[in-house]
């Protein structure tokens, strides 16, 4: 079934209104970024015949083709007329990027009402204004006006982001890239004058490329509708949300940022999101961390965690972070079965601890770690494992990375890796991410992700 928003997510033809031949202009950057996409591209600018080797048209009305998606890259006061032309052209979706609308006071609010009137009752839908637009890596759709050498884009993958902040989008995309997480699409919501977060959620719900939906929101267009749709989506697709404007200061800041007024009480929002099965997070790093966990593992079926480390100290810190309610994830340390402990004794150094946390000591070898993970994956009393992977012990080699990957991808008890590899840590985490291994560079981020996975598992169980 073809849907209206396909014009936004899967356009066959894209027009860029206000395309500039001047490389220092944002609209030139956007044209450059769009020029490698898998769709027909039409720059629009009455002053130019050709830009970047592409024929340039005076108006969208002059383009001898249907236009699915148009990007209007002009200042706020110049956006209305081109938008009206797009409506006449029956463009599917128009993105208005400029700021200077509702968020900037009365004059801007009047301008925004004019945009609404222009599309009202037409076949044309409006994304924005005040948005960076859309990124769909799989088809090279990239309306972001940031040069790629300033902010490299992630690869195609299964995580979608809806975001009311361009900067949060950029940070998300950069972190996703660094973590080896692929993106299905990233949409800047802007002022949500026409297309809003709920409609986009509805689209992503049945988008087969999207397995996890991440959201940054400062205010709801319609809170009740949002909760309803999340409740409907979340059993099949995890939804993780960074909802800011939690405090009075945050609400005031959101109001001057996106012109949005969030009257909703924080306790109410929190309860509603939890009941709908959304995972709530609190900063830009946790948003990517959690989306990654949900994309790689989805859930864990209980809260009994086993920690395996060659560094005793990490085992102790992990145990605290797992069990602590106030300063931790409120999970529990698994009690290992007698048979598990006996098997561990057979493969570990004499004076190591075969209780949980399992302490391999600095005498650890790749083979020892492999055997120990195998034994623990056999214990039905363990719902997930934290593997503290340290590359410093003398008898450990890079083959331990292969061991980790094989054990993590075995389809048996889920494993989250916390990586301690000095200056190589970030690279190891990234490659693991690309290979479908859930890994983080600190103990807390590994434990925190297990917390999110356990809450999702428990929520799904309750629904049964």
**DSSP 3-state assignment of 456?**
helix
d(CA 140, CA 143): 9
How far CA 295 is from CA of 188, 347, 436, in Å, comes to 21, 33, 9
Find, among 365, 279, 357, 286, the residue nearest to 319 by Cα.
357
Q: Which stretch binds a copy of itself (CB under 8 A): 67-75, 109-117, 242-250, 406-414?
A: 242-250
Identity of the residue, 46 or 351, whose beta carbon is nearer to a copy of itself in the bound complex = 351
CB-based contact 349:360 (threshold 8 Å)? yes
Identity of the residue, 91 or 181, whose beta carbon is nearer to a copy of itself in the bound complex = 181
Q: Which stretch binds a copy of itself (CB under 8 A): 21-29, 154-162, 200-208, 378-386?
A: 21-29
Q: How far is the CB of 116 from a copy of itself (least distance, A)?
A: 20
CB-based contact 67:77 (threshold 8 Å)? no
What angle, 0 to 180 degrees and rounded to 10, lies between the N-to-C axes of helices 366-377 and 338-347?
A: 170
Pick out residues in 369-408 that bind a copy of itself (CB under 8 A): 390-392, 394
Q: Which of 45, 73, 99, 124 binds a copy of itself (CB under 8 A)?
A: 99
Output the six-digit token pair for 67.
């236009």
Letter string b/e over residues 366-388, b meaning 16 or more CB atoms within 10 A of that residue's CB: bebbbbbbbbbbebeebbbbbbb
Pick out residues in 177-216 that bind a copy of itself (CB under 8 A): 178, 216
Q: How far is the CB of 245 from a copy of itself (least distance, A)?
A: 6
Q: How far is the CB of 312 from a copy of itself (least distance, A)?
A: 3
Identity of the residue, 7 or 376, whose beta carbon is nearer to a copy of itself in the bound complex = 376
Q: How far is the CB of 161 from a copy of itself (least distance, A)?
A: 12
Output the six-digit token pair for 302.
């209980």
Q: How far is the CB of 225 from a copy of itself (least distance, A)?
A: 22
Q: Which stretch binds a copy of itself (CB under 8 A): 36-44, 109-117, 118-126, 159-167?
A: 159-167
Q: Which stretch binds a copy of itself (CB under 8 A): 7-15, 198-206, 325-333, 378-386?
A: 325-333
Number of residues that bind a copy of itself (CB under 8 A): 83
Length of the chain equals 464
Q: Assess 431 for contact with a copy of itself (CB under 8 A).
A: no
Residue whose structure tokens are 């002053």? 47
Pick out residues in 342-371 that bind a copy of itself (CB under 8 A): 350-351, 353, 355-357, 359, 361-362
**DSSP 3-state assignment of 272?**
helix
């Amino acid at each position: 079934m073809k849907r209206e928003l396909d014009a936004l997510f899967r356009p066959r033809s894209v027009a860029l209104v206000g395309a500039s031949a001047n490389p220092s202009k944002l609209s030139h950057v956007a044209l450059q970024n769009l020029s490698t996409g898998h769709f027909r591209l039409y720059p629009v600018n009455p002053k130019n015949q050709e830009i970047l080797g592409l024929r340039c048209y005076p108006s969208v009305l002059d383009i001898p083709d249907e236009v699915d998606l148009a990007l209007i890259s002009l200042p706020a006061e110049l956006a209305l007329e081109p938008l009206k032309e797009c409506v006449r052209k029956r463009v599917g979706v128009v993105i208005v990027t400029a700021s200077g609308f509702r968020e900037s006071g009365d004059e801007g609010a009047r301008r925004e009402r004019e945009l609404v009137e222009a599309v009202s009752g037409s076949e044309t839908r409006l994304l924005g204004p005040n948005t960076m637009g859309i990124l769909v890596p799989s088809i090279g759709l990239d309306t972001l006006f940031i040069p790629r050498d300033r902010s490299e884009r992630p690869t195609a993958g299964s995580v979608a982001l809806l975001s009311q902040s361009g900067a949060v989008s950029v940070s998300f995309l950069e972190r996703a890239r660094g973590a080896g997480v692929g993106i299905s699409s990233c949409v800047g919501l802007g002022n949500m004058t026409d297309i809003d977060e709920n409609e986009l959620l509805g689209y992503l719900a049945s988008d087969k490329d999207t397995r996890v939906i991440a959201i940054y929101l400062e205010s709801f267009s319609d809170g009740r509708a949002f909760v309803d749709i999340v409740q409907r989506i979340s059993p099949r697709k995890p939804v993780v949300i960074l909802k800011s404007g939690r405090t009075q200061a945050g609400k005031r800041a959101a109001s001057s940022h996106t012109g949005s007024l969030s009257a909703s009480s924080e306790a109410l929002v929190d309860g509603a999101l939890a009941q709908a099965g959304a995972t709530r997070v609190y900063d830009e790093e946790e948003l990517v961390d959690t989306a990654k966990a949900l994309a790689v593992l989805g859930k864990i079926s209980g809260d009994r965690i086993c920690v395996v480390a060659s560094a005793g100290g990490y085992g102790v810190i992990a145990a605290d972070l797992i069990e602590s309610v106030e300063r931790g994830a409120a999970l529990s340390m698994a009690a290992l079965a007698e048979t598990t402990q006996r098997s561990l004794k057979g493969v570990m150094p004499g004076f190591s601890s075969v209780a949980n946390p399992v302490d391999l000591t600095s005498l650890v070898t790749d083979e020892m770690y492999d055997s120990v993970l195998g034994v623990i994956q056999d214990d039905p009393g363990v719902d997930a494992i934290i593997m503290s992977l340290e590359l410093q012990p003398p008898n450990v080699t890079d083959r331990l990375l292969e061991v980790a990957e094989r054990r993590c991808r075995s389809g048996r008890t889920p494993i989250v890796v916390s990586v301690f590899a000095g200056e190589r840590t970030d690279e190891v985490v990234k490659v693991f991410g690309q290979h479908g291994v859930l890994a983080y560079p600190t103990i807390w981020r590994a434990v925190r992700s297990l917390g999110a996975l356990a809450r999702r598992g428990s929520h799904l169980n309750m629904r049964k």
